[in-house]
Amino acid sequence: MLRTIRTHLAWKVFLSYVAVILVGVVVLATAASFSAPAAFERNLASMGAMMSGGMMGNAQTAEANLYSGYQMSVTEALSLAALAALIAAIAASYLVSRQVVGPIQKMVGISHRIAEGELHERLKISGNLARDQLDELDLLALSFNQMADKLEKTEVVRRQLIGDISHELRTPLTAIKGYMEGLIDGVLPASSQTFQQVHSEVDRLQRLVNDLQELSRMEAGAYQVNLKSVPVLKLVKNVESRLGRQFEEKGILLVAAVPTGLPNVLADEDRILQVLINLTGNAMQYTPAGGKVTISALCEKNEVRITVADTGIGIAPEHLPHIFTRFYRVDKSRTRASGGSGIGLTIARSLVTSHHGRIWVESAGEGKGSAFHFTLPVSPDK
């Protein structure tokens, strides 16, 4: 019972009303048993004095006087009770409002400070009580603090993102500026090779901006997933026809190992193709000539697991947990030179999660190849 009262504001307010009523009743009862008879006697005595002073009236007048004496006594007792109830009401409302208004005022103050950018501000929550021992205002303060935590984290991510983007933009811009200055000063020849280098830097900038736009759309969830029943073999054939020539040119073998009888997956064909092309493209990029990339699939319970495995440069264990983080590159100089922005896998993860799937990577270490796996739900209609 005590806990119910402590954790419910409604009970506290109700009990304060009960306290006020009780004080009123007690004072009224006391007044009725002590002060009312005394007042009645006093009033009677003053009437007696009036009567003995020669103001004798008839029986009717005596009755009226008695009645007004009684009324005066009751009014006196009631006034006393009302005064006591008023004092009790002031005390109770002071106590209750201290419990209710105080925390709300603090919340208003802190929310203003947070709005002004002091994101570390938090509300104090009474004692070290467990969640089920907190009242509604404490719970509100708890949610308020959680909201402030999220805001602070988002702000950190936002700042980091702006820092990352500026860093990414700075490199190609510095290179373009360098080429241009060289051309203006006549240090670099105005040859097609110089223009080609400027062009490839601009190309990289454009890819970065496109990737960023795609990433922000993904992270904001501002895209539609058009789920359909899709045969995995169709996806793999599509990848083969798009990247086959590049694999041949690089001298890497592309093998598709999709078993017959594999159920269809429930997916947005274009989006999943994007994921598969990204993983296969990466595998091609990080596998030297003479290597092999295998796209395989297998059914596990109600999921299909698709794997893109390569015999390439592999990934050291310390990099594995970060590989899906945006702008993360294992060898920054190498991938930057080859045009990677470190966003591809972040987009792939976002796309797979929007299909209720999982994506992860395995690698036995540097030089030992890598395998990227992702799952998709089996389509209910085959």
**Residues of this chain that bind ligand ADP (CB under 6 A):** 282-283, 286, 310, 312-313, 315, 323, 328-330, 335, 340-346, 370
Neighbouring CB atoms inside 10 A of 202's CB total 14
Q: Which is nearer to ligand ADP, 42 or 319 (CB)?
A: 319
- Four-point Cα dihedral 316, 320, 323, 325, nearest 10: -130
Q: Smallest distance, Å, CB 334 to ligand ADP?
A: 8
How does 137-167 read in b/e, with b if 16+ C-beta sit within 10 Å? bbeebeebbeebeeeeeeeeeeeebeebeee
Taking CB atoms, the residue at the shortest distance from ligand ADP is 340
Q: Which is nearer to ligand ADP, 27 or 323 (CB)?
A: 323
Q: Smallest distance, Å, CB 356 to ligand ADP?
A: 22
Q: Which is nearer to ligand ADP, 24 or 342 (CB)?
A: 342
What backbone phi and psi angles, to 5 degrees, belong to 18? -60, -40
Q: Which is nearer to ligand ADP, 106 or 242 (CB)?
A: 242
Q: Smallest distance, Å, CB 315 to ligand ADP?
A: 5
Structure-token pair, residue 203: 């190309």
Q: Smallest distance, Å, CB 293 to ligand ADP?
A: 8
Q: Which is nearer to ligand ADP, 73 or 370 (CB)?
A: 370
Q: Smallest distance, Å, CB 136 to ligand ADP?
A: 46
Task: Please list, in sequence order, all residues whose beta carbon lies within 8 angstroms of the beta carbon of residue 378, skipping any fewer than 6 positions away.
Answer: 263, 264, 265, 266, 299, 302, 303, 304
Residue position matching structure tokens 């092999």: 292
Separation of alpha carbons 231 and 235, rounded Å = 7
Q: Which is nearer to ligand ADP, 31 or 330 (CB)?
A: 330
Q: Smallest distance, Å, CB 190 to ligand ADP?
A: 32
Q: Which is nearer to ligand ADP, 342 or 357 (CB)?
A: 342
Q: Smallest distance, Å, CB 173 to ligand ADP?
A: 19
Q: Which is nearer to ligand ADP, 294 or 375 (CB)?
A: 294
Q: Smallest distance, Å, CB 172 to ligand ADP?
A: 14
Q: Smallest distance, Å, CB 326 to ligand ADP?
A: 8
CB 275 within 8 A of CB 354: no
Separation of alpha carbons 29 and 23, rounded Å = 10
Q: Which is nearer to ligand ADP, 290 or 380 (CB)?
A: 290
